[in-house]
Amino acid sequence: MLKLKRIGIDTYRDNVAFIARCCTPYRPEEFQAFRKIEVIHDGNRLLASLLIVDDETIVGRNELGLSEQAFKRIQKPEGTLVQLAPAIPPRSLDHVRSKIHGHTLDESQINDIIGDIATHRYSEMEIAAFLISSAGFMTTDEMLALTRAMAGAGNQLNWDAPVVVDKHCIGGIPGNRTSMIVVPIVAAHGLPMPKSSSRAITSPAGTADTMEVLAKVDLTMEEMREVVKECNGCLVWGGHVNLSPADDIMIAVERPLAIDTREQMVASILSKKIAAGSTHLVVDLPLGPSAKVRSHEDALRLRKLFEYISDQVGLHIEVSVTDGSQPVGRGIGPVLEARDAMAVLRREPGAPMDLKEKSLRLAGQILEFDKSLRGGKGYDRACELLESGEALTVMERIISAQGRSQKEYALGTLIHDVATEADGVVTAIDCYRMARIARLAGAPLDKGAGIDLFKKVGDPVEAGEALYRIYACVESDFQFARSMAGEANGYAIGAGL
Amino acid sequence: MLKLKRIGIDTYRDNVAFIARCCTPYRPEEFQAFRKIEVIHDGNRLLASLLIVDDETIVGRNELGLSEQAFKRIQKPEGTLVQLAPAIPPRSLDHVRSKIHGHTLDESQINDIIGDIATHRYSEMEIAAFLISSAGFMTTDEMLALTRAMAGAGNQLNWDAPVVVDKHCIGGIPGNRTSMIVVPIVAAHGLPMPKSSSRAITSPAGTADTMEVLAKVDLTMEEMREVVKECNGCLVWGGHVNLSPADDIMIAVERPLAIDTREQMVASILSKKIAAGSTHLVVDLPLGPSAKVRSHEDALRLRKLFEYISDQVGLHIEVSVTDGSQPVGRGIGPVLEARDAMAVLRREPGAPMDLKEKSLRLAGQILEFDKSLRGGKGYDRACELLESGEALTVMERIISAQGRSQKEYALGTLIHDVATEADGVVTAIDCYRMARIARLAGAPLDKGAGIDLFKKVGDPVEAGEALYRIYACVESDFQFARSMAGEANGYAIGAGL
């Protein structure tokens, strides 16, 4: 028997066990080739990857160390006596091997795999094996089974309403913070829109990061229900709600490998929406040379995939191909994006027109899920709700209900203006590069870090004129961002459009 | 700048960097989503996977911890100042993604991938991505390019001889220690046979583990050359010789995933042989219900693959399909297998006949690579060299040249006989199960642990009679092995053959 010890190492999502090489009751090197063991306590078994430790100050010869994640999952105090055994790999790995060798999987096989992933029985490498084997080829039946299995593996929300609306953006466009405008408009009309969003993982800001500038976003499921009951809508972080957890786990593995297939993306997005209890969904699909979707064919294929799967699972969907040729709005980073969204809701004269127009169009599409507005009346209704200030009132109510932010987030005090060297007209802005610069500047970790765009496509510029301003809070980030902007500032300047 | 610190954690083959969450000059959470960073020192860059640490006794806020492997590779003392940067992934990962999406790769793309793997620029997940994407489908051109790239990525031996022979067994058959008999026979005839072998990784004994009972096996390349010059042959561990290092790295990742394709196996084996400077090769391909190769079709396909690739790279090959229906010899585990091999060489009356016959046949095939023995004279010559004691003399010379073992390895003192409950005749012995029991008993870590078979297929048995004896050195292993033999002893007893 070994004594449980918590090891302060964050192994992201992998369960990792640390065992001393000289561990007295076992010989960990016997397990090393297979890299995985079972930790047994009261008949429960936790599968964990194995690391052998040669430093007894980290883990002693009678101890079993568990990384933060694994320690949380085993739910036992330090010092608990546990046993080890060679791991018996999840049976569903046979299905993964079968997929690797070119077979297609049926619904029950996919359910087994997703069930084991959601309950942390797969190592990251095993998850990668499933993702990669599926990335090469998936039948539509497999996609459908994957979507259903992911949606069913975590919590499922139910709103007791015939129409529950949601929107989703494929991502990749900085500043595209339409949800913070769409949700209050739609909620003001009376359609329930319980929006849960992610935090940025590789981008400079997610809706949750931006909303957090104004209000508390890490609500429990119960708190979320209360807010929606009161306001018809909310803008919360999905992390506490545990919707489609297998999806989060798979995305964490996908990202460093940069495999990104249409099929997995569609299954991922729809599984979350189904689990969130949505009945009607608008998907914002930006198309542009530096967006995720770069050609019309690609956009069409993706739209068809969304429509096919949604149809099968009984979700009403509208896929809207939008302009993804440059960032939307002016600010990139939580504080700057919150400023833009509030400027639109407050009908300030300087509010970014493109963000406003796009939000109104998306809100209009969603409002047409209400039978009384069908046939083109949604957009006008959206304008009405925005211009009358009703949307702003609902937004203020949502902020109060979620809990107004106790902290005043300010812009970073390290400031650098990036200027153009040429006269002409802005012909393109590289979304990917602007996102990277803003991210290096410290967003979203520093809410006040980011980029404020002074010029957009079509604007005339003179040599020496500032294109945008970088804000940062930490010196090393400031230098990283300046140096990347110095290499290439992300703007193309031409003779005219 | 951060101060380098060695962290006593064995991360197997992965470079892992440990950074405090509160690390002052950087914010490691910015790098976390991508899981990989670059450690920069004097312009050199080491790619490492990232783990964030919350315990400052493991790594302080101004330190960069490196796991044993990464610390060895960076070749700098503790306290050296290093910098961090977000990782720039190896360009060859683009080729891997292309393969994932179903494209075939050309020779230069495969060279790039293998080069980056051999120089530790891939994380384990990235290696898995390459293996899995190739497991589904590989063209013969890809196989050929892979074989050549792997052979070329490490050291290359050159023996200045027109014929340099080698043998290889596909594995999976316990006790099959023919190399220790074949090498001295062939060397006695005068053909150079510089044999480097692996240690067991998941089996109870490799040739290197078994030879180590008698002699030193961890020779440098120079020492190996000396032995071969003196004796015409050697039996060393390949670990210090760095032949086809990408192969070792890939196998370490393949194993826990249990993906095992014919194509990758052939490329792996042949790359090692080419790098070892072999010109002529005999492959022992055991066929049996619990062997790696289980059907005649499979054996034929594998033989054709071996022949095709060997032909293209200019290696003479003979693939010999052998009886893999039960273990070869009596002992399973280093001490017991060394005993069997020496009993054959010493022409002891009780020496296992099957091991002797199989070794003579393989040696005969190899001897026929000598023109003067072609056309069936190899087997007789092998018998002559064994029976005359010349092979034994050469074996003794090899043992002396490599350095006779200073340690007397004894059999384990924990002993348990496994008896049959039925009368009848042994009809089958499960190779896989016998290997697992011997491994659980402690082999090859404990050289004296293992199994001694008293009965083989065709032997009559009476209820209560012992089938085999388990030897172990450590109590927990002894219990693991007994309990597995208790569940199912691996023997099938029938009414007769």
Respond yes or no on whether the N-terminal peptide bond of residue B444 is cis (omega within 30° of 0).
yes
Q: Which amino acid is at A450?
A: G
**Chain B residue with minimal CA distance to A88?**
B256
**Chain A residue with minimal CA distance to B93?**
A257
What domains can be seen in chain B, in order of their start residue? 2-86 (2.40.40.20), 93-152 (1.20.970.10), 165-402 (3.40.1030.10), 414-494 (3.90.1170.30)
CB-count burial class (<10 Å; 0-12, 13-18, 19+) for B464: exposed
Which are the catalytic amino acids of A?
Answer: 260
Taking the C-alpha atoms of residue A15 and residue B402, their distance in angstroms, rounded to an integer, is 44
Instruction: Quote the longest CA-to-CA distance of chain B.
Output: 76
Instruction: Quote the longest CA-to-CA distance of chain A.
Output: 76
Band (B319; pLDDT cuts 50, 70, 90): very high
> What does residue B67 show for φ and ψ, rounded to 5 degrees?
-65, 165
Check if the beta carbon of residue A464 is closer than 8 Å to that of residue A420. Answer: yes
pLDDT at residue number A141:
95
Taking the C-alpha atoms of residue A134 and residue A121, their distance in angstroms, rounded to an integer, is 19
Contact B137 A102 (CB under 8 A): yes
Q: Which amino acid is at B61?
A: R
Alpha-carbon distance values, B72 to A436, B6, B14, B148 (Å)? 33, 9, 12, 28
B191 three-class SS: coil
* B9 chain-A contacts, CB cut-off 8 A: 18, 51-55, 58
Taking the C-alpha atoms of residue B454 and residue B377, their distance in angstroms, rounded to an integer, is 34
pLDDT digits (tens, 9 = 90+) for B209-224: 999 999 999 999 999 9
pLDDT digits (tens, 9 = 90+) for B103-159: 999 999 999 999 999 988 898 889 999 999 998 889 999 999 999 999 999 889 999
Question: Min CA distance, A230 vs chain B (Å)?
Answer: 36
Catalytic residue among B94, B260, B380, B423: B260
pLDDT digits (tens, 9 = 90+) for A1-31: 899 999 999 988 789 999 999 988 888 887 8
Band (B88; pLDDT cuts 50, 70, 90): confident
Q: Which amino acid is at A496?
A: G
Enter the DSSP assignment of A396.
H
Contact B8 A123 (CB under 8 A): no
Look at chain B and count its residues. 497
DSSP string, A9-72: EE-TTS-EEEEETT-SS--THHHHTTTEEEEEETTEEEEEEEEEE--TTTS-TTEEEEEHHHHH
On the question of pLDDT at A74 being above 60, the answer is yes
On the question of pLDDT at A497 being above 60, the answer is no
Identify from B257, B437, B439 which residue to disrupt to test chain A contact, counting A C-beta atoms within 10 A and taking the largest count.
B257
Question: Min CA distance, A176 vs chain B (Å)?
Answer: 21
pLDDT digits (tens, 9 = 90+) for B271-306: 999 999 999 999 999 999 989 999 999 999 999 999
A223 three-class SS: helix
Look at chain A and count its residues. 497
Check if the beta carbon of residue A69 is closer than 8 Å to that of residue A13. Answer: yes
Band (B496; pLDDT cuts 50, 70, 90): low
**Residues A167-187, mean pLDDT to the nearest whole number:** 95
**Going by DSSP bridges, is the β-strand pair B316-323/B280-287 parallel, antiparallel, or unpaired?**
parallel
* A261 chain-B contacts, CB cut-off 8 A: 101
Q: H or E segment at B48?
A: strand B44-53
pLDDT at residue number A123:
87
Contact A125 B51 (CB under 8 A): no
% of chain B beyond a pLDDT of 70: 100
Check if the beta carbon of residue A114 is closer than 8 Å to that of residue A149. Answer: yes
Check if the beta carbon of residue A483 is closer than 8 Å to that of residue A441. Answer: no
Rounded to the nearest integer, the mean pLDDT of chain A is: 93
CA-based radius of gyration for chain B: 25
Q: Which two tokens stand for residue B439?
A: 């491994």
Taking the C-alpha atoms of residue B197 and residue B273, their distance in angstroms, rounded to an integer, is 11
Taking the C-alpha atoms of residue B174 and residue B330, their distance in angstroms, rounded to an integer, is 9
Taking the C-alpha atoms of residue B497 and residue B492, their distance in angstroms, rounded to an integer, is 11
**Token pair 């009703």 is at which residue?**
A390
pLDDT digits (tens, 9 = 90+) for A232-255: 999 999 888 888 888 888 888 888
Contact B258 A10 (CB under 8 A): no
Higher pLDDT, B194 or B34: B194
Cα three-residue angle B306-B309-B310, rounded to 5 degrees: 75
Check if the beta carbon of residue A457 is closer than 8 Å to that of residue A484. Answer: no
B260 catalytic, yes or no? yes
pLDDT at residue number A143:
95
Contact B8 A474 (CB under 8 A): no
* A32 chain-B contacts, CB cut-off 8 A: 10, 12
Alpha-carbon distance values, B169 to A55, A229, B179 (Å)? 38, 70, 9
What is this model's ipTM?
0.84
pLDDT at residue number A496:
60
DSSP string, A119-175: TT-S-HHHHHHHHHHHHH---HHHHHHHHHHHHHTS-----S-S--EEEEE----TT
Check if the beta carbon of residue B296 is closer than 8 Å to that of residue B144. Answer: no
Taking the C-alpha atoms of residue A114 and residue A134, their distance in angstroms, rounded to an integer, is 13
Band (A34; pLDDT cuts 50, 70, 90): confident
Among B466, B489, B476, which Cα is nearest to B417's? Answer: B466
Q: Which residues of A244-268 are buried (b: 16+ CB within 10 A; e: fewer)?
A: bbbbbbbbbbbebbebebbbbbbbb
Check if the beta carbon of residue B441 is closer than 8 Å to that of residue B431. Answer: no
> What does residue A144 show for φ and ψ, rounded to 5 degrees?
-65, -45
* A88 chain-B contacts, CB cut-off 8 A: none
Among A242, A295, A235, A300, which Cα is nearest to A271's? Answer: A242
**Residues B362-381, mean pLDDT to the nearest whole number:** 95
Query: B184 CB contacts (<8 Å, ≥6 apart)?
Result: B233, B345, B391, B392, B394, B395, B398
Identify from A132, A436, A437 which residue to disrupt to test chain B contact, counting B C-beta atoms within 10 A and taking the largest count.
A132
Q: Which two tokens stand for residue A223?
A: 């708190």
pLDDT digits (tens, 9 = 90+) for A335-365: 999 999 999 999 999 999 999 999 999 999 9
Taking the C-alpha atoms of residue A50 and residue A69, their distance in angstroms, rounded to an integer, is 14
DSSP string, A407-453: S-----SEEEEEE-SS-EEEEEE-HHHHHHHHHHTTTTTSTT-EEEE
On the question of pLDDT at B497 being above 70, the answer is no
Band (B9; pLDDT cuts 50, 70, 90): very high
Contact A132 B137 (CB under 8 A): no
On the question of pLDDT at A323 being above 90, the answer is yes
Q: Which amino acid is at A25?
A: P
Contact B68 A54 (CB under 8 A): yes
Identify from A31, A52, A100, A199 which residue to disrupt to test chain B contact, counting B C-beta atoms within 10 A and taking the largest count.
A100
